[in-house]
Amino acid sequence: MFDELREMIKKWKESPHVKEHSDESRFVLIALLKEGPLTLKELEEKSFLFVSQFGLENYRHTASRHHREEFNITTEIDRLMKDNMIVQTHEKYELTNKGKKMAVESAEMIEKGAQWIKKNVLNPSAAARNTVIADFFLAVMKLVVGLISGSVGLLADGADAAVDTVSASIVWVGMKMKRELIGTMVIIAMMGVTGVSIGYESVTKIIDVIYGTVEPMSKPYLVIGVEGIALLVAVFLCLYQGFVGKKYGSLALISQSIDSKNHIYVAAVVIVGAVFSIFGIYFVDAVIGVYISFKILKDGFGLSKEVISSARGEKIDFSKFELLFEKRWRMSTHDSFRFWVLYTLRECSLEKNELTTELEKTFKHTYIPILSEFEFTAAEGFDFEEGFDRLVQRFWMRIW
């Protein structure tokens, strides 16, 4: 798996075109290779669609942070014409033989990369397997550091991570055997155990604090460091599992995503407890822990209802499972839809049904270099006909 990836990266780095031309230039070349001769306006629309998938403000912020120029299609076209990669014929740009050679090479590399990503990262079975690897890493890290430091808390946390590895393995095996529901039930059961365990430990600690029998946390700085890493891994897993789960309609991965979100809370509570313990305050994490316990149990109960519905053959509405940062990203992409509507209406007058048809065609069915290879679109799951009024209403609210 990784040998193939290393070979692709090596080939990409050794390509003379990588240093000679920017990613934006390759974007233009691939667009012309796949679509044939295009006008400046058509290329501008494709570049806008590419940028808008990530949100216009997000893209501008990233470009500014990395001290890069924003994607200027006319600048890239001028560079490519100067290098004899493209020529202009009757207001349309097309590839020269030199440009076609580079475009074919770039397209092949991107297609191979996309195939590798889809095979090893962006599919339910791969996501389940990668979760096992991540949980195993966390378990080993916590157990090793716990043994070296003698921290009982880290040893207990490491044992819990080991149990997570086992449950994640069951989910993975369940997917490979087409028994995804079994894996989902295991995750829900583990959430129940985690919720009850955290609740019990939190209440017990509060009682110990009241009676003055609580023991100080050993090596709090080490705990903060280890749990900080665990928190970052949990954030990544939550986003990763949730994205793949919603894309492919996998309740097991959605359950794992929610479980990872709960692990974020748990790690945060441990870190808060460690920080306050440095100053001799030992009850804060316990109080927060009681709340987290109820939240985990609530999530588990909600998922159990979805499992029952799925077992009855009912269709699950995956849109109600909101990922971390999804709301902000969705608002940003909706702003892109509104911007496109303004841009289109400036060019010509269209009725509502014509606009929704064009939105559907533009954001869901237009070829966009790189994104189309990865089968990624910000409009996935969005009904333009049903949501058009909300888009426009939000736009007028912003104006006023």
- Do 139 and 46 share a structural domain? no
Q: In what order do the strands lie in the sheet with 86-89?
A: 38-39, 92-95, 86-89
Q: Nearest Cα to 230, choosing from 129, 126, 122, 158?
A: 158
CA–CA separation, 394 vs 371, rounded Å? 27
- The β-bridge partners of 92 are 39, 89
Q: Torsion angle of alpha carbons 347, 351, 356, 359, nearest 10°?
A: -10
Token digits for 3? Answer: 């040998």
- Do 90 and 138 share a structural domain? no
Q: What is the separation, in whole angstroms, between the first and last Cα of the chain?
A: 54
- Do 303 and 286 share a structural domain? yes
- Do 137 and 108 share a structural domain? no
- Do 129 and 116 share a structural domain? no
CA–CA separation, 321 vs 318, rounded Å? 6
CA–CA separation, 250 vs 81, rounded Å? 47
- Do 332 and 292 share a structural domain? no
Question: Residues with Cβ < 8 Å from 268, sequence gap 6 or more?
Answer: 231
- Do 110 and 40 share a structural domain? yes
Backbone torsions φ then ψ of 94, nearest 5 degrees:
-140, 165
Question: pTM of the predicted model, to two decimals?
Answer: 0.76
Q: How many domains does the chain have?
A: 3
Give the CATH number for residue 38. 1.10.10.10
Whether 183 contacts 112, CB under 8 Å: no
Which of 320, 335, 364 is the C-terminal boundary of a domain? 320
pLDDT of residue 13: 58
Which of 294, 320, 346 is the C-terminal boundary of a domain? 320
- Do 305 and 172 share a structural domain? yes
pLDDT of residue 15: 61
- Do 62 and 146 share a structural domain? no
CA 383 to chain CA mean position, Å? 21
Question: Where in the chain does DSSP place strands (E)?
Answer: 38-39, 86-89, 92-95
pLDDT of residue 240: 92
- Do 271 and 138 share a structural domain? yes
pLDDT of residue 63: 45
Full domain range(s) for residue 297: 124-320
- Do 90 and 141 share a structural domain? no
Which of 64, 98, 120 is the C-terminal boundary of a domain? 120
pLDDT of residue 233: 93
Give the CATH number for residue 249. 1.20.1510
- Do 361 and 258 share a structural domain? no
Per-residue model confidence as pLDDT tens for the chain (400 residues): 556 656 656 665 556 555 566 778 888 888 899 888 998 888 888 887 787 766 545 444 444 444 445 557 888 888 888 889 889 888 899 999 988 988 888 888 888 888 888 888 888 889 999 999 999 998 888 888 877 766 656 666 777 788 888 888 888 888 887 777 777 888 888 888 888 888 888 888 888 888 877 777 677 888 889 889 999 999 999 999 988 888 888 888 888 888 888 888 888 888 888 888 888 887 777 888 888 888 888 888 888 887 787 777 777 766 777 776 777 767 777 777 777 777 777 777 777 788 888 777 777 777 888 778 877 776 666 777 777 777 777 655 454 4
Q: Nearest Cα to 33, choosing from 379, 360, 373, 377?
A: 373
